[in-house]
Each structure stands twice: as C-alpha cells, then as structure tokens.
Amino acid sequence: MKKHYKVRLIHIVMIILVFGSVSCSQRQHFSFDVTSRLLGGGKVSMVVEVDFQDQAGVEELRNKLETIQYALYLVFSRKSAEELSSLGEHKTANSIYQILQKHLAQKAMAVRVQNFTIEPK
C-alpha cells in the first residue's frame, strides 16, 4: 500500500511541475518591417510581429532576418496590388507564418501584421 501511495504522490508532483512551467512561460516578441514592390507596380509595407515561446526563437529570427525578408520580398513581388488587397491582413499573416516555419527551427507561436499598407502604382 505504501508503494502505491508514493507513485501517486510522484505523479501529482510531476503534474504540478509541468503545469507550473507552462503557465510561467512568457512569450517573446520580435517585430520587423517588410517592404516590397508589387507585380505591375505599386508597393506593400507592413510591420510583422512574431511571438516565440522563448528567447532562442527571437535570436534565430534575428540571425536569419535578412534571408526571411528576402523570401518575403520574393513572395510579394509576384503578387499584384489587387491580389494582395483581396487577401487582406489575416491571410497575409498566415502566409508569413508559413514562410517562417520553413526557415526557422524554433517554431513561431503567432504572427500578426500591423500597418498593412498597399500603395498602388
């Protein structure tokens, strides 16, 4: 009977530790600007805000920022102003999230697009 009690106590302690570490973790934020010419003329600009679980994700994004900005430039330069405006901020943020997932080992938790501006030609 004692052995059974010890096992349960260990499980309870482990559960508390797991939930404690999850609730104490704070998201790390990183923001960067994206500006790109559009297909057929015009320009798009925005601020991309990315949340990571820890500082390692932020550091990795800082180290690969130039590569990621170039990848985003290539994606947006193949879209027209009309096409991009029809996508809107939410779908644009989703596309950026997918690009980040391809380039980063530390996975982003969330991506938001702020100041989404399309300037037609």
Of 48, 101, 51, 44, the closest CA to residue 75 belongs to 44
pTM recorded for the entire structure: 0.72
46-93 confidence digits (pLDDT tens): 999 999 988 998 999 999 999 999 999 999 999 999 998 898 888 999
pLDDT of residue 24: 44
Domain boundaries, the chain: 26-119
CATH topology of domain 26-119: Tetrahydropterin Synthase; Chain A (3.30.479)
